Amino acid sequence: MAEITYFGLLEELEQYLQYQRDLGIQRVEVDRAVLAELAREPEPEASRPMVVEAAAVPSDFESVDAIAAHISACTSCGLCQTRTRTVPGEGNTDAPDILFVGEGPGADEDAQGRPFVGRAGKLLDKMIVAMGYRREQVFIANVVKCRPPDNRKPVREEMDQCLPYLRRQIELIRPKVIVGLGGTAMEGLLGNPVGITRMRGVWQEYAGIKLMPTYHPSYLLRDPSKKKDVWADLKLVLAELGKKPPR
């Protein structure tokens, strides 16, 4: 089982407490072991960018379409049993400025076979337009290509089975910059659990490509006050690309 980092634990606790609050619960019990773990002295994660090399990928995929065709029949993990449609990703496959990587398909994506088409997708569309792009000018993909039941986070084994597709997509597409949407996307890309709250806005690197972590749009739907943080991160992306947001 993958080790949970200090900030990963903190983030999971924060999400759990927000969920409880949304349910109207005002008091929760926290295990002593969790409190002891939180009392540990953390590593300065945000000031220590992670750099990863591209892992081995299936070399027989020679096009993004070939990957999508393979995914459509993939049974490499248990998510194939509950999916309606696979969601390989879509957009500009010819060295786009930006590749957005999310966690996995939700209900709308599972029904349509397209990434980010639900409420979070509408918000991502607005972010893309605010940056001066059209959706079809960027590429949008997820760490796992099939919907986890009840929108749960994909487990490590599911990510490990599915990540070769994303890695090969990145090799073929050759994006100038990758934007990792949320902690799970960053965990998939970097290979370790991360605390997105601390890491967002700090450049990372994936296989020689600049990688900007930021919050997932679905998190912004729950906490709109974080939109300004995401916009700050996206402006760093634009600056890296030598662009300014349109007026």
User: Residue 178 in contact with residue 209, Cβ under 8 Å?
Assistant: yes
Q: Which stretch binds ligand SF4 (CB under 6 A): 7-15, 50-58, 79-87, 106-114?
A: 79-87
Choosing from 50, 74, 140, 238, the residue that interacts with ligand SF4 (CB under 6 A) is 74
Distance CA 82, CA 77 (A): 11
Looking at the Cβ atoms of 146 and 230, the one nearer to ligand SF4 is 146
Q: How far apart are the first and last CA of the chain?
A: 47
- Residue 177: phi and psi, rounded to 5, are -140, 145
User: Residue 152 in contact with residue 78, Cβ under 8 Å?
Assistant: no
User: Residue 45 in contact with residue 198, Cβ under 8 Å?
Assistant: yes
173 contributes a contact to ligand SF4 by CB under 6 A = no
Distance CA 188, CA 206 (A): 11
Choosing from 8, 57, 67, 86, the residue that interacts with ligand SF4 (CB under 6 A) is 86
77 contributes a contact to ligand SF4 by CB under 6 A = yes
79 contributes a contact to ligand SF4 by CB under 6 A = yes
Least distance from ligand SF4 to the Cβ atom of residue 189, Å = 15
184 contributes a contact to ligand SF4 by CB under 6 A = no
161 contributes a contact to ligand SF4 by CB under 6 A = yes
Binding mask 98-117 for ligand SF4 (x = CB under 6 A): --------------------
The bridge status of strand 204-206 relative to strand 90-91 is: unpaired
Binding mask 137-156 for ligand SF4 (x = CB under 6 A): -------xxx----------
Bridge partner residues of 101 (DSSP): 141, 180
Angle between helices 183-190 and 156-173 (to 10 degrees): 70
Choosing from 50, 98, 120, 162, the residue that interacts with ligand SF4 (CB under 6 A) is 162
> For the chain, what is the radius of gyration of the CA atoms?
18
71 contributes a contact to ligand SF4 by CB under 6 A = yes
Q: Which residue has the tokens 């999916």?
A: 83
Looking at the Cβ atoms of 14 and 65, the one nearer to ligand SF4 is 65
Q: Angle 215-218-224 (CA atoms, 0-180°, nearest 5)?
A: 75
Least distance from ligand SF4 to the Cβ atom of residue 15, Å = 22
178 contributes a contact to ligand SF4 by CB under 6 A = no
Q: Which chain residues interact with ligand SF4 by CB under 6 A?
A: 71, 74-77, 79-80, 86, 144-146, 158, 161-162
